[in-house]
Structure 1
Amino acid sequence: MYEMRASTQEDRREITLLIAARELWMDDRGLDAGITDPEALLAAVGKTSEGRPLVWAFCEDGKILGVALLVVETLAAWGWKTTKHDNAALVMTATYTHPGYRHDRIGRFIAWWALDYAYRECEVPWVRRFTSSARLMRYFRDEQGWELVDIVTRSNFRVYLMQRRAEKIPGMAAFIR
């Protein structure tokens, strides 16, 4: 069974190695990481905001297979048009998965968990994410059901702003604790 748990300071080394493995895997394949900020994720390990953990670890048998930095905010600074999207959302600002488990679709499980968590715990109507990778945008949209809301320019990158309604995912508790 998988577990999604709050990260702790003791996880920092394992998370650092996971991010390094992912970045090396992407570099070896010529894949563009786009806008990423692993330092922001690492700085948030073990910390909370408004009583909620910031970095969550997706684990199996105690091994961290993926991590996500989740914050509740409006994302106005990223170009979300506040008149249309002014309500707070759970934002997946960074997600890293171990490349050795890529066939297990860990990122999809993390996203499903985030949708369910936002519905159950955060009292927000949306889960939002962004990427500067057209390949990832198509995957999130076509395979995971995310809505492409807008495309903005940030730091000379095209950034795809995406969202899904927070929702209860049936059977989640039986699959991910």
Structure 2
Amino acid sequence: MTPSPAPSPADAATERPSSTAYEVRPGRTADRSAVINLIAGRIALLNQWTDVGPLKGDSATLLNHLGESEGGQPVVWMLCEDSTILGCAAVFPKAPYWTGDPDQRAEPAHYIAALFIYPTPGVLLARLLVFALLDRAARLPTEDGRTRWLRSATSSDRVMRYAHHAMGFAVSGGVARGPRLVHLLQQPARAIDGLATYVSTRTT
């Protein structure tokens, strides 16, 4: 499956003013209570549609890595509006061993292991957070100048379709993990034109 045409930040923030409205920053240990509340609210909403269960693995990944770094980079990133946390993602400097062949795993890549977003009508916050992660990954140098990838995986067909059509991810394959098929997602990191109008990113 090839990527859909890349959406723009304006598509994701259609109801926001034409000035920087959001900030992406590293997660801190002090964010723990806010992240717990965000995850609980998101899971409660998802369970209204389908029985997703408690998503313990994804929750633990975020909570256990707040304030931590890997490869010299923060693991958890927060999407905020003023002091309110609207989203969070755990991003690692390499993908898990099961997500590709040895050549793919040797490529420079960031891997989104978990992502939770507060549902805000009319504002596609997940897109904005992914745009910020794509843009940031593109601006980090690689040792040999190769393209860095942003990768992820999901066992949800609905999430896979949304990631493909709304965020521009290609579905690069599938892997059997227990009884479920996990869809592998990827797209090349790139600088996002116009992103700074809507999202500012800081590293501390």
Q: Give TM-score, length-normalised by structure 2.
A: 0.80
- Residues 61-106 of structure 1: CA deviation (Å, up to 9, x unaligned): 110000000111143x22311234531301111000013x254111
Deviation at 1:48, TM superposition (A): 1.1
Deviation at 1:171, TM superposition (A): 1.7
Local SS of the residue matching 1:37: helix
The share of aligned pairs that are identical, in percent, is 30
Who is 2:84 aligned against?
A: 63
What is the count of residue pairs matched by the alignment? 175
Is 1:129–2:148 an aligned residue pair?
A: no
CA RMSD of aligned residues (A): 1.8
1:120 counterpart (139, 143, 159) = 139
Structure 1: runs of 5 or more not aligned: none
With 33-42 and 133-142 compared, the bigger mean Cα shift is at 33-42
With 78-87 and 144-153 compared, the bigger mean Cα shift is at 78-87
Local SS of the residue matching 1:170: coil
Where does structure 1 differ by over 3 angstroms across 4 or more consecutive aligned residues?
Answer: 31-36
With 163-172 and 22-31 compared, the bigger mean Cα shift is at 22-31
Larger radius of gyration: 2
Distance 1:121 1:174 in 2: 21
Distance 1:85 1:42 in 2: 25
Who is 2:190 aligned against?
A: 167
Local SS of the residue matching 1:169: coil
Q: Is the 8 A contact 1:32 1:133 kept in 2?
A: no
Distance 1:47 1:6, change over 3 A: same
Distance 2:49 2:174 in 1: 26
The aligned runs of 1:32-51 (5 Å cut-off) are 32=52, 36-51=57-72
